[in-house]
Amino acid sequence: MSSSRLHTPTPNAGPSKRSPLPKPKDKAWVEPAALPDDSDVDIASIGGTAPDYVKQLACNTFYAYGVGDPDAFGYAVGRATRFIDISVDRRMERAGRLEATTVAELTVTRQMLNGAGMLHGGCVTYLIDNCCSTPLVALGIYQGTNGVGVTQGMNVLFHAPAPVGSQLRIISTSISMGGRVMTSRCEIVDKASGRVVASAFLNKMQPQAAKL
């Protein structure tokens, strides 16, 4: 989508259009089910095994909180990011573990470059912070818990440059979902060459209400 286009969300789908969600065990500081459906998200175009309501709510959270309003930092980059797959793998469910994976794509534009004409490290970190959070959000929605949280820390490795016009694929997978701390991993790959541009581990935590 054009970066000049304003984000105009539409109201949430009613209960008859969305599978009922279990209530999170604890009151969430950000509740994905309370967010408006993003008008630019076409759920039919997103592959993967996650139910449609999980795909929709995960995208709503990404664009409403990860990207924000048009005057927010990195807005054009965030809005240019499109999800093509959101999946929940249930093969480990008997062992008490589920795994979620999201795949997003975008093309490197001039506004994402550094002075050397390559994808800026700060832009890479912005993409990882937002995209690597989405499998945790999706898994939380699927399980009826909250996977939004706030970033506690990330470990980013830069492997190869990405010039303007590069088509990137961002593959993010959940690792663990604890009561307060959650972890995921991410790779940014050049679609044409298969070369890894960057990789990272991300830790998120649930914020606690301040005690007066």
Coil, strand or helix at 74:
coil
By the 8 A CB rule, do 110 and 154 touch? no
Contacts of 172 (CB under 8 A, 6+ apart): 101, 102, 103, 104, 131, 132, 133, 134, 135, 184, 185, 186
Which domain, by its residues, includes 145? Answer: 40-205
Three state DSSP letters for 139-167: HHHHHCCCCCCEEEEEEEEECCCCECCCE
The answer to whether residue 212 sits within a structural domain is no
By the 8 A CB rule, do 199 and 159 touch? yes
The answer to whether residue 194 sits within a structural domain is yes
The answer to whether residue 20 sits within a structural domain is no
Report the pLDDT value the prediction gives residue 209, as an integer from 0 to 100. 59
The pLDDT tens digits of the residues spanning 124-143 come to 999 999 999 999 999 999 99
The answer to whether residue 132 sits within a structural domain is yes
Calpha distance 125→202 (Å, rounded) = 10
Calpha distance 183→131 (Å, rounded) = 13
Give me the sign of the Cα torsion angle 171, 151, 153, 140: negative
The CATH number covering residue 195 comes to 3.10.129.10
pLDDT band at 15 (very low <50, low <70, confident <90, very high): very low
Q: Can you tell me which residue has the tokens 């039919």?
A: 44
Give the residue-averaged pLDDT of 61-83: 96
Any idea which of 3-17, 26-40, 82-96, 191-205 has the lowest mean pLDDT?
3-17
The answer to whether residue 201 sits within a structural domain is yes
By the 8 A CB rule, do 116 and 52 touch? no
Give the count of domains, the chain: 1
Q: Can you tell me which residue has the tokens 């990011």?
A: 81
The answer, yes or no, to whether residue 64 has pLDDT greater than 90, is yes
The pLDDT tens digits of the residues spanning 147-198 come to 999 999 999 999 999 999 999 999 999 999 887 899 999 999 999 999 999 9
The answer to whether residue 14 sits within a structural domain is no
Check residue 169 and report its DSSP letter: E
The answer to whether residue 2 sits within a structural domain is no
Q: Where are the beta strands (DSSP E) in 15-166?
A: 82-89, 99-107, 150-158
Question: What is the DSSP pairing of strand 150-158 with strand 167-177?
Answer: unpaired
The answer to whether residue 22 sits within a structural domain is no
